[in-house]
Chains A and B, each alone.
Chain A
Protein backbone atom coordinates (compact mmCIF):
# COMPACT_ATOMS: atom_id res chain seq x y z
CA UNK A 1 0.00 0.00 0.00
CA UNK A 2 1.24 3.41 -0.87
CA UNK A 3 1.76 5.57 2.16
CA UNK A 4 1.21 9.28 2.06
CA UNK A 5 4.31 10.49 3.84
CA UNK A 6 3.26 14.07 4.13
CA UNK A 7 0.01 13.35 5.96
CA UNK A 8 1.72 10.82 8.16
CA UNK A 9 4.54 13.21 8.84
CA UNK A 10 2.11 15.94 9.81
CA UNK A 11 0.38 13.58 12.17
CA UNK A 12 3.66 12.55 13.75
CA UNK A 13 4.71 16.16 14.12
CA UNK A 14 1.42 16.96 15.78
CA UNK A 15 1.98 14.08 18.14
CA UNK A 16 5.34 15.64 18.95
CA UNK A 17 3.56 18.88 19.85
CA UNK A 18 3.38 20.87 16.63
CA UNK A 19 -0.04 22.47 16.37
CA UNK A 20 0.71 23.97 12.96
CA UNK A 21 1.02 20.46 11.57
CA UNK A 22 -2.42 19.58 12.77
CA UNK A 23 -3.83 22.75 11.24
CA UNK A 24 -2.30 21.79 7.91
CA UNK A 25 -3.64 18.26 8.19
CA UNK A 26 -7.06 19.54 9.14
CA UNK A 27 -7.17 22.01 6.29
CA UNK A 28 -6.28 19.26 3.87
CA UNK A 29 -9.03 16.85 4.90
CA UNK A 30 -11.79 18.83 6.52
CA UNK A 31 -13.85 19.51 3.41
CA UNK A 32 -14.09 15.96 2.03
CA UNK A 33 -14.76 14.67 5.51
CA UNK A 34 -17.51 17.18 6.20
CA UNK A 35 -19.21 16.53 2.87
CA UNK A 36 -18.94 12.79 3.35
CA UNK A 37 -20.61 13.01 6.76
CA UNK A 38 -23.25 15.50 5.67
CA UNK A 39 -24.25 13.38 2.71
CA UNK A 40 -24.31 10.28 4.83
CA UNK A 41 -26.56 11.58 7.57
CA UNK A 42 -28.48 14.34 5.75
CA UNK A 43 -28.43 16.59 8.76
CA UNK A 44 -26.16 19.56 9.31
CA UNK A 45 -26.30 19.29 13.09
CA UNK A 46 -25.63 15.54 13.09
CA UNK A 47 -22.84 16.00 10.56
CA UNK A 48 -21.27 18.69 12.76
CA UNK A 49 -21.42 16.41 15.78
CA UNK A 50 -19.88 13.53 13.89
CA UNK A 51 -17.26 15.79 12.36
CA UNK A 52 -16.14 16.89 15.82
CA UNK A 53 -16.21 13.32 17.05
CA UNK A 54 -14.00 12.10 14.22
CA UNK A 55 -11.38 14.76 14.80
CA UNK A 56 -11.63 14.24 18.51
CA UNK A 57 -10.79 10.58 18.01
CA UNK A 58 -7.89 11.48 15.77
CA UNK A 59 -6.56 13.81 18.45
CA UNK A 60 -7.10 11.30 21.24
CA UNK A 61 -5.38 8.51 19.36
CA UNK A 62 -2.37 10.53 18.24
CA UNK A 63 -0.03 8.62 20.54
CA UNK A 64 -1.15 5.32 19.09
CA UNK A 65 -1.05 6.44 15.49
CA UNK A 66 1.05 4.16 13.34
CA UNK A 67 1.92 4.60 9.72
CA UNK A 68 0.28 1.48 8.38
CA UNK A 69 -1.95 3.04 5.77
CA UNK A 70 -2.71 6.37 4.24
CA UNK A 71 -3.88 8.91 6.77
CA UNK A 72 -6.94 9.48 4.60
CA UNK A 73 -7.90 5.82 4.91
CA UNK A 74 -7.41 6.04 8.67
CA UNK A 75 -9.50 9.20 8.89
CA UNK A 76 -12.38 7.88 6.83
CA UNK A 77 -12.29 4.60 8.66
CA UNK A 78 -13.04 6.53 11.83
CA UNK A 79 -15.67 8.54 10.00
CA UNK A 80 -17.33 5.39 8.72
CA UNK A 81 -17.46 3.96 12.25
CA UNK A 82 -18.93 7.17 13.62
CA UNK A 83 -21.57 7.26 10.88
CA UNK A 84 -22.45 3.60 11.47
CA UNK A 85 -22.74 4.26 15.21
CA UNK A 86 -24.99 7.19 14.44
CA UNK A 87 -27.30 5.04 12.35
CA UNK A 88 -27.28 2.21 14.89
CA UNK A 89 -28.23 4.56 17.67
CA UNK A 90 -31.36 5.14 15.69
CA UNK A 91 -30.60 8.78 15.31
CA UNK A 92 -31.70 8.79 11.73
CA UNK A 93 -32.88 12.27 11.37
CA UNK A 94 -35.33 13.14 8.68
CA UNK A 95 -33.82 14.86 5.74
CA UNK A 96 -32.70 18.23 6.95
CA UNK A 97 -34.03 20.71 4.47
CA UNK A 98 -31.53 23.27 5.70
CA UNK A 99 -28.67 20.94 4.94
CA UNK A 100 -30.08 20.11 1.57
CA UNK A 101 -30.52 23.77 0.80
CA UNK A 102 -26.90 24.35 1.60
CA UNK A 103 -26.09 21.49 -0.72
CA UNK A 104 -28.28 22.49 -3.56
CA UNK A 105 -28.67 26.24 -3.55
CA UNK A 106 -25.10 27.25 -3.98
CA UNK A 107 -24.66 29.71 -6.81
CA UNK A 108 -23.91 28.26 -10.18
CA UNK A 109 -20.85 28.95 -12.26
CA UNK A 110 -20.39 32.61 -13.01
CA UNK A 111 -20.25 32.07 -16.73
CA UNK A 112 -23.80 30.78 -16.70
CA UNK A 113 -26.37 33.20 -17.96
CA UNK A 114 -28.87 34.41 -15.36
CA UNK A 115 -31.73 32.70 -17.14
CA UNK A 116 -29.98 29.37 -16.74
CA UNK A 117 -29.08 29.66 -13.11
CA UNK A 118 -32.44 28.35 -11.99
CA UNK A 119 -32.11 25.50 -14.40
CA UNK A 120 -28.65 24.73 -13.12
CA UNK A 121 -29.87 24.79 -9.54
CA UNK A 122 -32.65 22.44 -10.45
CA UNK A 123 -30.25 19.97 -12.02
CA UNK A 124 -27.97 20.20 -9.10
CA UNK A 125 -30.80 19.62 -6.70
CA UNK A 126 -32.02 16.65 -8.69
CA UNK A 127 -28.57 15.11 -8.75
CA UNK A 128 -28.13 15.38 -4.99
CA UNK A 129 -31.61 14.05 -4.44
CA UNK A 130 -30.62 11.03 -6.49
CA UNK A 131 -27.49 10.72 -4.39
CA UNK A 132 -29.51 10.93 -1.18
CA UNK A 133 -31.90 8.29 -2.48
CA UNK A 134 -29.13 5.74 -2.95
CA UNK A 135 -28.98 2.86 -0.49
CA UNK A 136 -26.62 3.65 2.37
CA UNK A 137 -23.94 1.19 1.27
CA UNK A 138 -23.93 2.40 -2.33
CA UNK A 139 -23.88 6.02 -1.27
CA UNK A 140 -21.02 5.37 1.08
CA UNK A 141 -18.99 3.59 -1.58
CA UNK A 142 -19.56 6.48 -3.93
CA UNK A 143 -18.66 9.13 -1.35
CA UNK A 144 -15.55 7.29 -0.23
CA UNK A 145 -14.52 7.12 -3.85
CA UNK A 146 -15.34 10.70 -4.78
CA UNK A 147 -14.70 12.64 -1.59
CA UNK A 148 -11.96 10.62 0.02
CA UNK A 149 -10.44 9.53 -3.28
CA UNK A 150 -10.08 5.99 -2.02
CA UNK A 151 -9.64 3.00 -4.27
CA UNK A 152 -11.74 -0.15 -4.12
CA UNK A 153 -9.32 -1.93 -1.80
CA UNK A 154 -9.53 0.81 0.80
CA UNK A 155 -13.30 1.15 0.39
CA UNK A 156 -13.65 -2.58 0.93
CA UNK A 157 -11.41 -2.44 3.99
CA UNK A 158 -13.25 0.47 5.55
CA UNK A 159 -16.69 -0.96 4.93
CA UNK A 160 -15.54 -4.47 5.85
CA UNK A 161 -16.67 -6.16 2.69
CA UNK A 162 -14.89 -7.89 -0.13
CA UNK A 163 -13.42 -5.91 -2.98
CA UNK A 164 -15.96 -7.34 -5.40
CA UNK A 165 -18.81 -6.24 -3.17
CA UNK A 166 -17.36 -2.76 -2.89
CA UNK A 167 -16.92 -2.65 -6.63
CA UNK A 168 -20.49 -3.76 -7.18
CA UNK A 169 -21.85 -1.12 -4.81
CA UNK A 170 -19.84 1.61 -6.47
CA UNK A 171 -20.92 0.51 -9.90
CA UNK A 172 -24.62 0.51 -8.99
CA UNK A 173 -24.30 3.93 -7.39
CA UNK A 174 -22.66 5.35 -10.49
CA UNK A 175 -25.28 3.84 -12.77
CA UNK A 176 -28.12 5.31 -10.77
CA UNK A 177 -26.54 8.74 -10.64
CA UNK A 178 -25.74 8.52 -14.28
CA UNK A 179 -29.35 7.72 -15.00
CA UNK A 180 -30.42 10.80 -13.05
CA UNK A 181 -28.14 12.89 -15.24
CA UNK A 182 -29.57 11.30 -18.36
CA UNK A 183 -33.10 11.95 -17.17
CA UNK A 184 -32.25 15.57 -16.57
CA UNK A 185 -30.81 16.00 -20.01
CA UNK A 186 -33.64 14.13 -21.60
CA UNK A 187 -36.02 16.60 -20.01
CA UNK A 188 -33.97 19.65 -20.85
CA UNK A 189 -30.42 19.52 -22.16
CA UNK A 190 -28.80 22.16 -20.00
CA UNK A 191 -25.84 20.48 -18.35
CA UNK A 192 -22.51 20.36 -20.02
CA UNK A 193 -21.13 16.96 -20.96
CA UNK A 194 -24.37 15.01 -20.74
CA UNK A 195 -24.15 11.33 -20.15
CA UNK A 196 -26.31 9.42 -22.59
CA UNK A 197 -25.94 5.87 -21.53
CA UNK A 198 -29.30 4.42 -20.57
CA UNK A 199 -28.58 1.00 -19.16
CA UNK A 200 -30.75 -1.59 -17.55
CA UNK A 201 -29.85 -1.90 -13.91
CA UNK A 202 -29.01 -5.44 -12.82
CA UNK A 203 -30.92 -6.77 -9.88
CA UNK A 204 -29.11 -6.28 -6.58
Chain B
Protein backbone atom coordinates (compact mmCIF):
# COMPACT_ATOMS: atom_id res chain seq x y z
CA UNK B 1 0.00 0.00 0.00
CA UNK B 2 1.29 3.44 -0.93
CA UNK B 3 2.07 5.77 1.96
CA UNK B 4 -0.64 8.19 0.91
CA UNK B 5 -3.16 5.36 0.72
CA UNK B 6 -2.03 4.13 4.08
CA UNK B 7 -2.56 7.53 5.64
CA UNK B 8 -5.96 7.82 4.03
CA UNK B 9 -6.88 4.37 5.31
CA UNK B 10 -5.66 5.24 8.77
CA UNK B 11 -7.67 8.42 8.86
CA UNK B 12 -10.79 6.66 7.63
CA UNK B 13 -10.19 3.78 10.01
CA UNK B 14 -9.75 6.17 12.90
CA UNK B 15 -13.00 7.87 11.98
CA UNK B 16 -14.88 4.59 11.80
CA UNK B 17 -13.47 3.29 15.03
CA UNK B 18 -14.12 6.57 16.80
CA UNK B 19 -17.69 6.62 15.54
CA UNK B 20 -18.26 3.04 16.65
CA UNK B 21 -16.70 3.67 20.05
CA UNK B 22 -18.85 6.69 20.68
CA UNK B 23 -21.92 5.07 19.22
CA UNK B 24 -21.64 2.08 21.50
CA UNK B 25 -21.58 4.36 24.50
CA UNK B 26 -20.54 3.24 27.92
CA UNK B 27 -21.38 3.08 31.58
CA UNK B 28 -22.40 6.05 33.66
CA UNK B 29 -20.71 7.05 36.87
CA UNK B 30 -22.55 5.42 39.79
CA UNK B 31 -24.48 8.05 41.77
CA UNK B 32 -22.94 6.94 45.05
CA UNK B 33 -19.53 7.68 43.59
CA UNK B 34 -20.68 11.19 42.74
CA UNK B 35 -21.81 11.69 46.31
CA UNK B 36 -18.54 10.43 47.77
CA UNK B 37 -16.36 12.64 45.58
CA UNK B 38 -18.44 15.77 46.02
CA UNK B 39 -18.67 15.25 49.78
CA UNK B 40 -14.92 14.88 49.97
CA UNK B 41 -14.40 18.04 47.94
CA UNK B 42 -16.83 19.94 50.15
CA UNK B 43 -15.18 18.78 53.35
CA UNK B 44 -11.76 19.67 51.98
CA UNK B 45 -12.89 23.26 51.60
CA UNK B 46 -14.00 23.34 55.21
CA UNK B 47 -10.57 22.52 56.58
CA UNK B 48 -7.33 24.30 55.82
CA UNK B 49 -4.89 22.52 53.55
CA UNK B 50 -2.17 20.59 55.31
CA UNK B 51 1.32 21.91 55.03
CA UNK B 52 3.37 19.74 52.81
CA UNK B 53 6.29 17.92 54.34
CA UNK B 54 9.61 19.18 52.99
CA UNK B 55 10.23 16.18 50.80
CA UNK B 56 6.82 16.48 49.24
CA UNK B 57 7.79 19.79 47.75
CA UNK B 58 8.86 19.90 44.13
CA UNK B 59 12.47 18.93 43.59
CA UNK B 60 13.23 22.32 42.11
CA UNK B 61 12.60 24.00 45.49
CA UNK B 62 14.82 21.68 47.46
CA UNK B 63 18.29 22.91 46.39
CA UNK B 64 17.31 26.48 47.21
CA UNK B 65 16.13 25.48 50.66
CA UNK B 66 19.20 23.36 51.28
CA UNK B 67 21.37 26.26 50.17
CA UNK B 68 19.70 28.59 52.67
CA UNK B 69 20.09 25.96 55.38
CA UNK B 70 23.73 25.50 54.45
CA UNK B 71 24.42 29.23 54.63
CA UNK B 72 22.72 29.44 58.02
CA UNK B 73 24.72 26.50 59.33
CA UNK B 74 27.95 27.97 58.00
CA UNK B 75 27.16 31.26 59.74
CA UNK B 76 26.43 29.53 63.01
CA UNK B 77 29.62 27.52 62.74
CA UNK B 78 31.64 30.65 61.99
CA UNK B 79 30.17 32.42 65.00
CA UNK B 80 30.90 29.44 67.22
CA UNK B 81 34.50 29.33 66.01
CA UNK B 82 34.92 33.06 66.62
CA UNK B 83 33.56 32.75 70.17
CA UNK B 84 35.71 29.71 70.81
CA UNK B 85 38.76 31.47 69.44
CA UNK B 86 38.15 34.47 71.72
CA UNK B 87 37.82 32.20 74.72
CA UNK B 88 40.91 30.31 73.69
CA UNK B 89 42.89 33.55 73.54
CA UNK B 90 41.61 34.39 76.99
CA UNK B 91 43.00 31.25 78.51
CA UNK B 92 45.55 30.78 75.85
CA UNK B 93 48.57 30.97 78.11
CA UNK B 94 47.56 27.78 79.85
CA UNK B 95 47.43 26.03 76.53
CA UNK B 96 50.55 27.62 75.15
CA UNK B 97 52.46 26.54 78.23
CA UNK B 98 51.91 22.92 77.46
CA UNK B 99 54.91 22.43 75.16
CA UNK B 100 57.06 23.98 77.83
CA UNK B 101 55.94 21.89 80.74
CA UNK B 102 55.52 18.74 78.66
CA UNK B 103 59.28 18.51 78.50
CA UNK B 104 59.40 18.17 82.24
CA UNK B 105 59.05 15.05 84.32
CA UNK B 106 55.29 15.46 84.70
CA UNK B 107 54.75 16.82 81.23
CA UNK B 108 52.89 13.88 79.87
CA UNK B 109 50.50 13.77 82.78
CA UNK B 110 49.88 17.49 82.68
CA UNK B 111 49.33 17.45 78.98
CA UNK B 112 46.76 14.74 79.29
CA UNK B 113 44.97 16.76 81.93
CA UNK B 114 44.99 20.15 80.28
CA UNK B 115 45.50 19.79 76.59
CA UNK B 116 42.92 21.80 74.67
CA UNK B 117 41.12 22.70 77.85
CA UNK B 118 39.30 25.97 77.50
CA UNK B 119 37.72 25.88 80.91
CA UNK B 120 39.24 28.44 83.24
CA UNK B 121 38.60 26.05 86.10
CA UNK B 122 41.12 23.65 84.67
CA UNK B 123 43.91 26.19 84.65
CA UNK B 124 46.97 25.29 86.56
CA UNK B 125 47.23 26.19 90.12
CA UNK B 126 49.46 29.29 90.32
CA UNK B 127 51.43 27.93 93.26
CA UNK B 128 52.12 24.70 91.47
CA UNK B 129 52.99 26.62 88.33
CA UNK B 130 55.47 28.79 90.19
CA UNK B 131 56.95 25.69 91.73
CA UNK B 132 57.45 24.21 88.29
CA UNK B 133 59.09 27.41 87.10
CA UNK B 134 61.34 27.32 90.13
CA UNK B 135 62.18 23.70 89.37
CA UNK B 136 63.13 24.66 85.82
CA UNK B 137 65.27 27.45 87.10
CA UNK B 138 66.83 25.18 89.69
CA UNK B 139 67.74 22.73 86.93
CA UNK B 140 69.52 25.53 85.12
CA UNK B 141 66.95 25.71 82.30
CA UNK B 142 66.61 29.48 82.58
CA UNK B 143 65.35 30.14 79.08
CA UNK B 144 62.49 27.72 79.60
CA UNK B 145 61.87 29.12 83.04
CA UNK B 146 61.71 32.66 81.63
CA UNK B 147 59.27 31.65 78.94
CA UNK B 148 57.11 29.81 81.41
CA UNK B 149 57.08 32.79 83.73
CA UNK B 150 55.97 35.08 80.92
CA UNK B 151 53.11 32.69 80.26
CA UNK B 152 52.37 32.60 83.94
CA UNK B 153 52.18 36.37 84.12
CA UNK B 154 49.90 36.48 81.12
CA UNK B 155 47.58 34.01 82.75
CA UNK B 156 47.75 35.52 86.23
CA UNK B 157 48.53 39.21 85.84
CA UNK B 158 47.68 39.86 89.47
CA UNK B 159 50.48 37.58 90.48
CA UNK B 160 52.94 39.89 88.76
CA UNK B 161 53.26 41.64 92.09
CA UNK B 162 54.52 38.47 93.67
CA UNK B 163 58.11 38.09 94.00
CA UNK B 164 59.90 35.78 91.69
CA UNK B 165 59.84 32.28 92.89
CA UNK B 166 63.54 32.05 92.56
CA UNK B 167 65.62 34.65 94.34
CA UNK B 168 68.45 34.03 91.97
CA UNK B 169 66.39 35.14 89.01
CA UNK B 170 67.05 38.49 87.44
CA UNK B 171 63.46 39.43 88.17
Using a CB–CB distance below 8 Å, which chain A residues touch chain B? Answer: 14, 17, 19, 22-23, 26, 30-31, 34-35, 38-39, 48, 51-52, 55-56, 59-60, 62-63, 99, 102-103, 106, 109, 124, 127-128, 131, 146, 171, 174-175, 177-178, 181, 191-195, 197, 199
Please state if A181 and B16 are interface contacts (CB–CB under 8 Å): yes
| Residue among A51, A109, A127, A146 making CB contact with B37, cutoff 8 Å | A51
* 3 shortest interchain CB distances as A-B pairs: A195-B16, A178-B13, A102-B27
Chain B residues whose CB sits within 8 angstroms of the CB of A124 once the complex forms: 24
Whether A56 contacts B17 by the Cβ 8 Å rule is: no
Chain B, residue nearest A33 (CB)? B29
Within 8 A of A (CB), among B6-62: 6, 9-10, 12-14, 16-30, 33-34, 36-38, 40-42, 44-45, 49
A103, B27: Cα distance in complex, Å: 6
Contact A26 B41 (CB under 8 A): yes
Among A19, A131, A192, the residue within 8 A (CB) of B42 is A19
- Cβ contact of A195, chosen from B6, B17, B44, cutoff 8 A: B17
Q: Write out the residue numbers on chain B whose beta carbons fall within 8 Å of the beta carbon of A177.
A: 17, 20-21
- The answer on a CB contact under 8 Å between B16 and A60 is no
A48 partner, pick from B18, B30, B40, B42, beta carbons under 8 A: B30
Task: Given A128-B24, A146-B21, A181-B20, check contact A55 B13 (CB 8 Å).
Answer: no
Q: Is B1 part of the binding interface, using a Cβ–Cβ cutoff of 8 Å?
A: yes
Q: Which of B40, B44, B49 is within 8 Å of A52, CB to CB?
A: B40
Partner of A127, one of B6, B13, B24, B45: B24
14 residue pairs of the A-B complex, CB under 8 angstroms, read: A14-B45, A26-B34, A52-B37, A55-B41, A59-B40, A63-B49, A102-B27, A103-B27, A174-B14, A175-B13, A181-B20, A197-B9, A197-B12, A199-B1
Closest-CB distance, B1 to chain A (whole angstroms): 7
Residues of B within 8 A of A195 (CB): 12-13, 16-17, 20
Question: Which residue of the partner chain, among A48, A60, A197, contacts B44 with CB atoms under 8 Å?
Answer: A60
Residues of A within 8 A of B45 (CB): 14, 17, 19
Residues of chain A lying within 8 A (CB to CB) of residue B42: 19
Assess whether B24 is in contact with A38, with CB atoms less than 8 Å apart: no
Q: Separation in Å of the A198 CB from the closest CB of chain B?
A: 10
- Check B17 against A174 for contact (C-beta < 8 Å): yes
**A106's contact among B12, B22, B27, B30, by CB below 8 Å, is which?**
B27
How many residues from B make CB contacts under 8 Å with A? 33
- Distance in Å: Cβ of B22 to nearest Cβ of chain A: 7
Quick check: A191 and B20 within 8 Å, CB to CB?
yes
In the bound assembly, the distance between CA atoms of A177 and B16 in angstroms comes to 9
Q: Which of B83-125 contact A (CB under 8 A)?
A: none
Residue of A nearest to B43 (CB): A59
Interfacial chain A residues near B36, Cβ < 8 Å: 52
Q: A residues within 8 A CB of B29?
A: 30-31, 34, 51
Cross-chain contact B16 with A103 (CB below 8 angstroms): no
CA distance A139 to B28 in the complex (A): 20
Beyond A30-B34, A106-B25, 5 additional contacts (C-beta under 8 Å) are: A34-B33, A52-B36, A59-B44, A175-B13, A197-B9
Q: Do A127 and B21 touch across chains, with their CB atoms under 8 A apart? A: yes
Q: How far is the CB of B95 from chain A (nearest CB, A)?
A: 56
Which residues from A are CB-within-8-Å of B23?
109, 192
